[in-house]
Structure 1
Amino acid sequence: MGLELSPEEYPHVTRDENMAEDLHGQTVMDPYRYLEDPDSEKTQQFVASQNSLTQKLLKQCTSRAKFQDLMRDLYNYPRYSCPQKEGKRYFWTYNSGLQAQAILQTQADLNEDPRILLDPNKLSDDGTVAFMSKSFTEDGSIMAYSLSSGGSDWRTIHFMTIAEDGSATELADKLENVKFSSMAWTHDGKGLFYNTYPKKAGAQPGALGTETDTNINQRLSFHVLGTAQEEDPVILAVPDCPEWMIGAQVTDDGSYLLLSISNGCQRQLPIQKFIDSFEASFSYVANIGTELILHTNLKAPRYRVIKVNLAQSDGPQGFLDVVPQHPRDLLQWAFALQGDNMVCCFLRDVHHVLQLHALTQDKLLQDIPLPGLGSIVSFSGNRKNLEFFFKFASFIEPGVIYRAELKSDTLLPTVFRRSLVKGFQPEDFEVRQEFAESKDGTKVPMFIFGKKSIQQNSRNPLLLYGYGGFNISLEPSFSVGRICFILAYGGIVVSTNLRGGGEYGLDWRAAGSMHNKQNVFDDFQACAEHVISQKYTCASKIISQGGSNGGLLVAACANQRPDLFGCVLAQVGVMDMLRFHLFTIGHAWMTDYGNPGKREDFELLYSYSPLHNVRQPREGIQYPAMLLLTGDHDDRVSPLHSLKLLAELQYSLTSTPGADQKNPLVARIEVRTGHGAGKPTEKVIAEAADMFAFAAEATSTDWIHCL
């Protein structure tokens, strides 16, 4: 067991020693900047040679095929979304198990056989065209839906009519150059508000998703059915502030179009100003005439629900509490139903609590029981009905959908559908919640799960997962890949809840953002030290994993504490912290990272940027084995981040005099995939098998599962 690469086995990579620039008085080398161009011959040669090396290495991973077979076996279980009622029909997605993409189905009655409305598996040979989102007219007779190709964030919006019997007819309308878009119908069903970016001059058909151009000048447009997209009027644009983004939502009664603009706007049409400061966020829950019900963090870092009358309000001083900020729990969302009813979801020590509240007054109607420590992964309901659905999942619960209806004083949800995984017995597993003490004394929660009676013998392979950013909470969720890791290798999985996330509200987020970003890395390292001190594992058996902002996390921690990990799996990570804002949607991340153009932000970013902090570790300590994963159609975190870091790792750790790096430093660069959303099932399985087989070999971990 064990993987090794000698320096001469790595491909030769061109290094431009003359590529340097002065940033705030600091000379910064950037010898691999040419890898920022995905279409250059040098970049394509680099990708080909690196993939060839990685595939050669993966063939040495003895458990790779077995893991793939195990995961395919366990992944082959039915998965459902919550039924969503639109007009007189229900709509929901279904994957029988190994279908590349989930299909959209419909039924008028929950007891009748469903009818297939849209099967994206028929739209491409390789399963990489994915159904991403949908929006219905008020009566449910027309659906707008978006498709993505190859994992790109770019979308095309299509339309279909839906007859009373559930049969569908595609319309000729098609909207392109759509990204990060609203889809909001007027109540008469004649048109749709949506977002586009200006069309790039000379853009080739099918090339969207591989470009690195920054996404600026988003516009809100309005499409009237039956007309050409070129005729669509621009409702709102912000040309003086090209990085700002626009969201649009039509109120439940159809009376108002609510616009939410990131960082502000210049208005091109007469618009009533309601909130134009950036001190807080607001999201629409419901309205009763001119009275709006909003979910907000205004003067409430753990959020609250307020009401305000548009006709009378003179600003925030006119806001009245409907659900005040909880003294401890985070109010994640609120959803209005028919009448004076609202379902509220709270996060309490990183698990969900569900309650029914009055919509118009501060009144708790009842708690809604949940089956254990887990999360509500989806919810559906609307203002026209008393019926609602929610899907509950946990680390050991694949997914159970509950149905509830407000017909009596006591609300008791009943099981509507449950997903069962063949060969997986939840009662054989256990979940623990423990807290690590970070460098500054902060208690950092983590969930630890594995087979029952976890042996604390310091020898278990352990997967340590983290994110820590953008106000995102890592709640309990079910992962076939993680279950396979536990079964295949006798492993333990630890999901960490680091600062920077949203687990405890805005204060928790702020404590890991901007100039506090180092706290996130300290938290993750403290979690690693905790599981070692509690004898769950040892450093050489820890496999750190993170994606996107989590990819930045695990790469930065590998630089800072290479002795603390045996293997690093860094997926689609942000690795160049001095230039992230120059590509695709990177400028939007400055709210969490800071602006490299400002000296005070630059100094901090430079201090932890994975690309700029690769260094020879102290004598006797190597970098852990590292597998960087990215996709050629990732137009959110461009592949250039992983490519540049890979080149720097290989040069600094294997090509410099005295280098003693034997643990492999390689990348898996996949074609026709993006940041993760819409990835076909077989690609998900293949990627997991490659990751975990690599990690097992790198940490000298044996296969123990009997297929």
Structure 2
Amino acid sequence: MNKRLIASLVIGSVASVGVMTQSMAKDTQKTSKVDDPYIWLEEVEGEKALNWVEEQNEKSLGYLMSKPLYKELYEKNLEVYNSDERIPYVGQMGDYFYNFWRDDENPRGLWRRTTLEEYQKEDPEWEIILNLDELAEKEDENWVYKGSNCLYPTYDRCLINLSRGGADATVVREFDIESKSFVKDGFQLPEAKSSLSWIDKDTLYVGTDFGEGSMTDSGYPRIVKTWKRGQPIEKAKTVFEGEKENVWIGAMVSHDGDDKYKIIYQGLDFYTSEIFLVTDDGLKKLDRPKDSSFSGVINGQLLLELKSDWTVGDKTYKQASLLSISMDDFVAGKKNFTEVLVPDARTSIASVSSTKDHVLITTLKDVSSELYRYTFKGGKWSHEKIDMPDLGTLSVTGTSDEHNNFFINYQNFLTPSSLYYFDAAKDSASVLKSLPAFFDASPYKVEQKFAEAKDGTKVPYFLIMAKDTELDGKNPTLLYGYGGFEVSLRPSYSATVGIDWLEQGGVYALANIRGGGEYGPAWHQAALKKNRHIAFNDFITVAEHLIETKVTDNKHLGIRGGSNGGLLVGTVATMRPDLYEAVVCQVPLLDMKRFNQLLAGASWMGEYGNPDNEDEWNYIKTYSPYHNVHKDVDYPKIFFTTSTRDDRVHPGHARKMVAKMMNQGHDLLYYENTEGGHGGAANNEQSAKLNALIYTYLADQLMD
């Protein structure tokens, strides 16, 4: 809640705005004249479709849960998920530090707060603000907490987002912090994909489903209005209308000390936007590259991150650079930028945040984190590196624009998360809280390898295995990947990977393929649209490298991915079914002919292309898994998982793929959780179950 501009919304934030309810989903699907015998499975809650789901679940669960390993893993996983020995991560609002906590006694969770003095204790006392379990029981609803948006700078009123069963779509209700109760006759919205921002205590910017024509083709708000307290939403005044083909329209308020900036964000596609400043004279469009993003405003300096080269006069600012300029100068049309950071070929900017006087920049150097503190003084930026452990992942949390203290989380594959507190007065960071080791890491080692793609690009991947692993080509190995939307896969500690896979004798590999953001925008853009095969081929290259170096062979190699990663593993399983003995394909995109017609799919055409355009379909169809699976090809026994309540990636993708493959005679497994949203699980028990099912399947397929 500091000075960041919310206008830098990309995949995570657009996705988390919420998509549509399942009851609305079928209304947005264009099914006329579609030659698809399995299209009936797109009817999310249709009786025939749900009966089919129940039948597949019964078969798959009966098979996997009968394995002795399943019960062992489930019980261990649940113990980890419900453990009180977890770090209660916090965000600061005013004088309080807020946390959302789930455990075995509170499976839906507690929204709570404490003071810094208390938080620094080993066992702090928490003040409970909202008990989701009590609320769910009282209202007889399966509420899942989806976050809050609180009024700056008092933070006494919040807009609470509540999801039914974990879906992205939420009910919004105004909440009074001090009375710990929902505000009677306060701001509230029915279940929808809504975007709201406080202008003042009695006025909001709101984007939601106002009725027919108010949503984009992607299923996000197309219209922004100002909504005053006590006013029927139908009477709210329209501020901005986008086009139906836009991805998302939103308005937000950014604070920089006493200065307040009202901003309209028009997402043209997933990666380009127009941004307008609301002034007394109307809307003023900001002159910047459409693919650039704001990273914040601090002490009057606007931060702009470039996704491509930008020539201004006789100066060209390089792709991936972070620039700054006086906000007043920028609004006045000046272009006198200062280069804050220009990453080299091995480095990318992972995150930008700010405190009262500093900008904190986390970078990735060959996929390992470094943290720098930048200060603007006398028209220049100076910086210093924050001393932190090497070869891991750093995440800055709990910043505030009231002081220069902050939290830093550190982890790597074998080191549990440690939360450091950076005390500006001491100018150093010290460990405040640490996770216990949920598995014994001493027998294992981590190595970073590089596989060479056909075009000569070095593709990095991490390898985690026992120190005494024999490179005999027989080790059961799980390769994980994503490769899209400029998302970076970084070293992270996973108790379930340790317990469910490493301790069972498995090797774990994490591929940093193109399409991700590990080396900045260019690494991502290399695999966009017609170049999508680069991501798939990079993944195959890593798989082949694992085999060439005798880590494993094709009978002991499994792959796993979810969402865009589900598309990845679904595609490479159809491209090279000979390479893998196991495939875990979670909440996937698979029907790339219709992805843009289903739920939020239209918003991803900036990543994949438009299948309704013949030229673009001609390259999409070459990899679309649903269109490239054949009866006469031997495929590994794939395990598909999805969620009925996933209102981001339509469950019809997985359903139809399974039905088609079953009809072709292929052996496979399918599990659809009836709750859980895009994450696949709505509570700790469901998470424990899902991972136990997945690793039981992998052990069954890969371990002799």
Return the TM-score normalized by structure 2: 0.85
Are residues 453 and 118 of structure 1, via their aligned partners in 2, closer, same or farther at CA, if it must alter by over 3 Å? farther
How many residue pairs align between the two structures? 647
Measured after TM superposition, the shift of residue 20 of structure 1 is 12
Q: Which of 412, 416, 420 is the matching residue for 1:402?
A: 420
Structure 1 counterpart of 2:167: 152
Q: Which of 47, 54, 62 is the matching residue for 1:48?
A: 54
SS across alignment from 1:444: strand
Measured after TM superposition, the shift of residue 46 of structure 1 is 2.1
1:471 partnered with 2:476: no
SS across alignment from 1:117: strand
Are residues 249 and 426 of structure 1, via their aligned partners in 2, closer, same or farther at CA, if it must alter by over 3 Å? farther
Are residues 459 and 76 of structure 1, via their aligned partners in 2, closer, same or farther at CA, if it must alter by over 3 Å? farther
Structure 2 counterpart of 1:337: 355
List aligned pairs for 1:212-251, cutoff 5 A. Answer: 215-225=219-229, 227-239=231-243, 241=245, 243-251=247-255
Equivalent pair of 2:266/2:275 in contact (CA under 8 Å): no
Structure 1 counterpart of 2:20: none
Are residues 449 and 90 of structure 1, via their aligned partners in 2, closer, same or farther at CA, if it must alter by over 3 Å? same
Q: What is the alpha-carbon distance in structure 2 between the residues aligned to residue 193 and residue 21 of structure 1?
A: 36
Structure 1 counterpart of 2:148: 134
1:175 partnered with 2:188: yes
Structure 1 counterpart of 2:659: 647
List aligned pairs for 1:615-654, cutoff 5 A. Answer: 615-616=630-631, 622-652=634-664, 654=665
Are residues 216 and 141 of structure 1, via their aligned partners in 2, closer, same or farther at CA, if it must alter by over 3 Å? closer
List aligned pairs for 1:1-80, cutoff 5 A. Answer: 29-77=35-83, 78-80=85-87
Equivalent pair of 2:217/2:247 in contact (CA under 8 Å): no
Structure 2 counterpart of 1:294: 304
Equivalent pair of 2:205/2:252 in contact (CA under 8 Å): yes
Structure 1 counterpart of 2:198: 185
Deviations 1:577-600 (A, max 9, x none): 011001111011001100112222
Equivalent pair of 2:479/2:509 in contact (CA under 8 Å): yes
Equivalent pair of 2:261/2:277 in contact (CA under 8 Å): no
Read off the aligned partner of 1:288 and give its amino acid letter: N
Structure 2 counterpart of 1:351: 368
Structure 2 counterpart of 1:4: none
What is the percentage of aligned positions where both structures have the same residue?
A: 26
Q: What is the alpha-carbon distance in structure 2 between the residues aligned to residue 199 and residue 677 of structure 1?
A: 29
Measured after TM superposition, the shift of residue 685 of structure 1 is 0.5
Q: What is the alpha-carbon distance in structure 2 between the residues aligned to residue 469 and residue 567 of structure 1?
A: 22
1:321 partnered with 2:329: no
Deviations 1:366-402 (A, max 9, x none): 2112223222345221221121112222222332111
Read off the aligned partner of 2:532 and give its amino acid letter: K
Read off the aligned partner of 1:690 and give its amino acid letter: L
Equivalent pair of 1:213/1:583 in contact (CA under 8 Å): no
SS across alignment from 2:284: coil
Equivalent pair of 1:147/1:157 in contact (CA under 8 Å): yes
Read off the aligned partner of 1:58 and give its amino acid letter: L
Measured after TM superposition, the shift of residue 542 of structure 1 is 1.2
SS across alignment from 1:634: coil
1:668 partnered with 2:671: yes
Q: Which of 280, 287, 293 is the matching residue for 2:291?
A: 280
Q: Which of 682, 685, 690 is the matching residue for 2:685?
A: 682
Equivalent pair of 2:53/2:672 in contact (CA under 8 Å): yes
Return the TM-score normalized by structure 1: 0.85
SS across alignment from 2:383: strand
Structure 2 counterpart of 1:206: none
Are residues 325 and 55 of structure 1, via their aligned partners in 2, closer, same or farther at CA, if it must alter by over 3 Å? closer
Structure 1 counterpart of 2:94: 87
Structure 2 counterpart of 1:439: 454
Q: What is the alpha-carbon distance in structure 2 between the residues aligned to residue 574 and residue 193 of structure 1?
A: 33
Structure 1's unaligned 5+ residue stretches are 1-18, 23-27, 202-211, 655-660, 703-707
Q: What is the alpha-carbon distance in structure 1 between the residues aligned to residue 422 and residue 277 of structure 2?
A: 44
Deviates more, 1:80-89 or 1:586-595: 80-89
Are residues 583 and 66 of structure 1, via their aligned partners in 2, closer, same or farther at CA, if it must alter by over 3 Å? same
Measured after TM superposition, the shift of residue 641 of structure 1 is 0.5
Are residues 113 and 38 of structure 1, via their aligned partners in 2, closer, same or farther at CA, if it must alter by over 3 Å? closer
Q: What is the alpha-carbon distance in structure 1 between the residues aligned to residue 506 and residue 113 of structure 2?
A: 40
Are residues 63 and 240 of structure 1, via their aligned partners in 2, closer, same or farther at CA, if it must alter by over 3 Å? closer
Structure 2 counterpart of 1:453: 468
1:553 partnered with 2:568: yes
Equivalent pair of 2:157/2:175 in contact (CA under 8 Å): yes
Are residues 200 and 71 of structure 1, via their aligned partners in 2, closer, same or farther at CA, if it must alter by over 3 Å? farther
Measured after TM superposition, the shift of residue 564 of structure 1 is 0.5
SS across alignment from 1:370: coil
Are residues 327 and 214 of structure 1, via their aligned partners in 2, closer, same or farther at CA, if it must alter by over 3 Å? closer
Deviations 1:287-325 (A, max 9, x none): 435x53334435243231322433565657333323344
Deviations 1:615-656 (A, max 9, x none): 2456xxx2111111011111111111011111111122x1xx
Are residues 536 and 127 of structure 1, via their aligned partners in 2, closer, same or farther at CA, if it must alter by over 3 Å? farther
1:697 partnered with 2:700: yes
Measured after TM superposition, the shift of residue 86 of structure 1 is 1.6
Structure 1 counterpart of 2:261: 256
SS across alignment from 1:310: helix
Q: What is the alpha-carbon distance in structure 2 between the residues aligned to residue 490 and residue 372 of structure 1?
A: 27
Structure 2's unaligned 5+ residue stretches are 1-29, 119-123, 310-317
Q: What is the alpha-carbon distance in structure 1 between the residues aligned to residue 670 and residue 453 of structure 2?
A: 31
Deviations 1:83-127 (A, max 9, x none): 322222222233457852442221234226221112323333699
Structure 1 counterpart of 2:514: 499
Equivalent pair of 2:263/2:277 in contact (CA under 8 Å): no
Read off the aligned partner of 1:603 and give its amino acid letter: N
Deviates more, 1:443-452 or 1:501-510: 443-452
Structure 1 counterpart of 2:24: none
Read off the aligned partner of 1:511 and give its amino acid letter: A
Measured after TM superposition, the shift of residue 136 of structure 1 is 2.3
1:413 partnered with 2:429: yes
SS across alignment from 2:551: coil
1:579 partnered with 2:597: no
Equivalent pair of 1:552/1:574 in contact (CA under 8 Å): yes
Measured after TM superposition, the shift of residue 497 of structure 1 is 0.7
Measured after TM superposition, the shift of residue 353 of structure 1 is 0.6
Measured after TM superposition, the shift of residue 488 of structure 1 is 4.3
SS across alignment from 1:79: coil
Deviates more, 1:353-362 or 1:487-496: 353-362
Read off the aligned partner of 1:250 and give its amino acid letter: S
Read off the aligned partner of 1:184 and give its amino acid letter: S
Structure 1 counterpart of 2:10: none
Equivalent pair of 1:151/1:674 in contact (CA under 8 Å): yes
Equivalent pair of 1:181/1:247 in contact (CA under 8 Å): no
Deviations 1:656-684 (A, max 9, x none): xxxxx5xx312101102211077211000
SS across alignment from 2:698: helix
Deviations 1:428-472 (A, max 9, x none): 432111111223332111111133333323222111111100111
Deviates more, 1:120-129 or 1:78-87: 120-129
1:599 partnered with 2:614: yes
Are residues 468 and 239 of structure 1, via their aligned partners in 2, closer, same or farther at CA, if it must alter by over 3 Å? closer
SS across alignment from 1:431: strand
Equivalent pair of 1:246/1:259 in contact (CA under 8 Å): yes
